[in-house]
C-alpha cells in the first residue's frame, strides 16, 4: 500500500531564507513522487516529479527535491524564498501501476517580508 | 495557463437546481479525473475515466453524475446538492492509466457554493 505524510501543516519563513517542506512516503514498490503547488483560488500546478531516474530532481521556480530511499523521504527545498512562493504544497505518491495517486494533507507556506 | 480548462470557475446553486461543471483537456491525454477539495480535508478522488470508460467511482453520492463523451471532455452533472457539497472541484488528466511515471495535470478548479 502507498501513503504519504507531510510532516508540517504550516511552515513560515522570511523572504530570502531557505525553504524546507518535508514529506515521507510509504510504498511497496518503487514509487513515483510528485510535488504540486496550489496558490489561492487556483488549481494544483506540478512543481517536479521523481520517476526512478536521478535522485535529485529540479523543478520550476527554483525548487528541487531529493529522493532518499533509505529514509523514505522526498523533501522539497528552495535556497531563497520569494513572496510569490506563499501557497499550499502537496506531496503525492503514485502506485506502481500508475493509476492511483495518494495525496498528502498539504503544507501551507507563509513567506514573511 | 494550463492544458486543462474548467468552466465555470464559480457557481452558486440552490439545493433544488441542476447544473453542470465542464472540463476540457488540450493535452491529448486518455485519462480524466474529478477530485473534490474541501476546506481542512485531504483531496478526494471522485471519478476516473479512461478512454471514455468510467474505471473508478469512489462511493460518490448519486447526486453527482459524471459524463465523458470523448477523451477531451468531462462533465460533472449536479442535482439536489447539499450545503456540505460546497467545495472546489478539480478536473485533471493524465496520458493514460497503468503507465509507470503517470503524471496528472490539474485545471484551475470550479468553486461550487450550494445555498
Question: Which of A19, A24, A51, A25 minimizes the C-alpha distance to A37?
Answer: A19
- Which of chain A's residues have a Cβ under 8 Å away from the Cβ of B29? none
Bridge partners (DSSP) listed for residue A54: none
Q: Are B31 and B93 in contact (CB under 8 A)?
A: yes
- Nearest residue on chain B to A96, alpha-carbon basis: B100
Burial of A106 (0-12, 13-18, 19+ CB in 10 A): buried
DSSP B58: -
A·B CB contacts under 8 A? 55
Instruction: Please judge whether B109 and A43 are an interchain contact, meaning their C-beta atoms are less than 8 angstroms apart.
Output: yes
A95 pLDDT exceeds 80? no
Lowest mean pLDDT among A42-46, A89-93, A97-101: A97-101
Q: Is A35 on the interface with B (CB under 8 A)?
A: no
Q: Are B13 and B78 in contact (CB under 8 A)?
A: yes
List pLDDT tens digits, range B84-101: 999 999 999 999 887 777
- Nearest residue on chain B to A46, alpha-carbon basis: B105
CA A87 centroid distance within chain: 12
Give the three cell numbers for residue B47: 471519478
List pLDDT tens digits, range A24-41: 999 877 788 999 999 998
List pLDDT tens digits, range A74-85: 999 999 999 999
Q: How far is the C-alpha of A49 from the C-alpha of A69, rounded, in Å?
A: 15
Interface of B with A (CB under 8 A): 2, 4, 6, 31, 42-43, 45, 48, 55, 90, 92, 96-109, 111
B1 pLDDT exceeds 70? no
List pLDDT tens digits, range B16-71: 889 999 999 999 999 999 999 998 788 999 999 988 888 877 789 999 999 999 99
Amino acid at each position: 500500500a502507498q501513503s504519504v505524510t507531510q510532516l508540517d501543516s504550516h511552515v513560515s519563513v522570511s523572504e530570502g531564507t531557505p525553504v524546507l517542506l518535508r514529506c515521507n512516503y510509504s510504498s511497496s514498490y518503487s514509487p513515483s513522487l510528485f510535488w504540486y503547488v496550489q496558490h489561492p483560488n487556483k488549481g494544483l500546478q506540478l512543481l517536479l516529479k521523481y520517476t526512478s531516474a536521478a535522485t535529485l530532481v529540479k523543478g520550476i521556480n527554483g525548487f528541487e527535491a531529493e529522493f532518499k530511499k533509505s529514509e523514505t523521504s522526498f523533501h522539497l527545498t528552495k535556497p531563497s524564498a520569494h513572496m510569490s512562493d506563499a501557497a499550499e504544497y502537496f506531496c503525492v505518491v503514485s502506485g506502481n501501476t500508475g493509476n492511483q495517486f495518494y495525496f498528502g494533507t498539504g503544507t501551507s507556506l507563509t513567506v514573511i517580508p | 495557463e494550463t492544458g486543462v480548462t474548467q468552466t465555470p470557475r464559480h457557481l452558486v446553486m440552490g439545493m433544488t437546481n441542476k447544473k453542470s461543471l465542464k472540463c476540457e483537456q488540450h493535452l491529448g491525454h486518455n485519462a480524466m479525473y474529478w477530485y473534490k477539495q474541501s476546506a481542512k480535508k485531504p483531496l478526494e478522488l471522485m471519478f476516473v475515466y479512461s478512454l471514455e470508460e468510467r474505471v473508478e467511482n469512489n462511493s460518490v453520492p448519486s447526486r453527482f453524475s459524471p459524463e465523458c463523451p470523448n477523451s477531451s471532455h468531462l462533465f460533472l452533472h449536479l442535482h439536489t446538492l447539499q450545503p456540505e457539497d460546497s467545495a472546489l472541484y478539480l478536473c485533471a488528466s493524465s496520458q493514460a492509466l497503468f503507465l509507470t511515471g503517470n503524471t496528472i495535470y490539474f485545471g484551475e478548479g470550479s468553486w461550487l457554493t450550494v445555498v
